[in-house]
Amino acid sequence: MNALRQTLLTAFASTLMAGAVSAATLTLNPTADTFVRADSATSTAGGTAAEMLVGQLNSTQAMHALLSFDLSSLPVNATINSVSLVMVQSSEDGSSGNTTITLELHLLTQAFVESQASWNNAATGTPWTTAGGAFDSTVLSTVDVRTRPSQTPVITLPVSQTWASTVNFVSAVQSAADGSNSISFLFKDANEANVARELIKFFSKEGTTAPQLTIDYTVAAIPEPSTVGLLMGSVVLTGGIWLRRRSR
């Protein structure tokens, strides 16, 4: 029966593979974004500011940006191939020197309310489990950004900064899409022990150009019942012909 089994498997695979996957790209804006600062640990940015600040004023005055995205528009059986996040560096801060700093992207592990979040609290009456925003230590992606783009070599602002796709980034978004259908991120300077002022400004969703999370994914096609019925009929017919030939 090896020949029959091979025929069945070949026919079944051919049917499933015909248009087996559908590729698509989804681009999302944040549903919430804000920033929190250690030098004003109980105050909020209100969630309506046109810019978010990331970096630090000195080694004890860090600033973190927070963003959330709704993933419910992804198909339930989507397989994520790549993901990237673009934020637009909006204006220049008076940072110390023309320094390039590395900004890390982390998975935020505690929900926040953008109008209420501060360095100490994720929402009014709800402290962060870790001050400044509770996040997973795994770095999902990084980007190197200059604090003074007006200095040589000159970069004209505004300019897009991209956190590119990585295995960790894809895994985090896939897990969120398969689970809660939402995901939140935290951005921070990779070296917050630096005593120099190193501050980057980005447009928020209320600004000129909102952050964008771009997801490239594929969806496996599910055969229609009529197609499956046709396939099974073909298998039965093929098997009958094969058995008659074997009996001669």
Q: pLDDT of 64-102, one tens digit each?
A: 999 999 999 999 999 999 999 999 999 999 888 889 999
Per-residue pLDDT of 129-152, as tens digits, reads 999 999 999 999 999 999 999 999
The answer to whether the Cα torsion of 152, 201, 181, 106 is positive or negative is positive
> Tokens representing 20?
């087996």
pTM over 0.85: no
Cα–Cα dist 32/70, whole Å: 9
Question: What value does the mean pLDDT take over residues 211-226?
Answer: 84
Helix H or strand E segment including 27: strand 21-28
pLDDT band at 3 (very low <50, low <70, confident <90, very high): low
Q: Across the chain, what does the average pLDDT equal?
A: 87
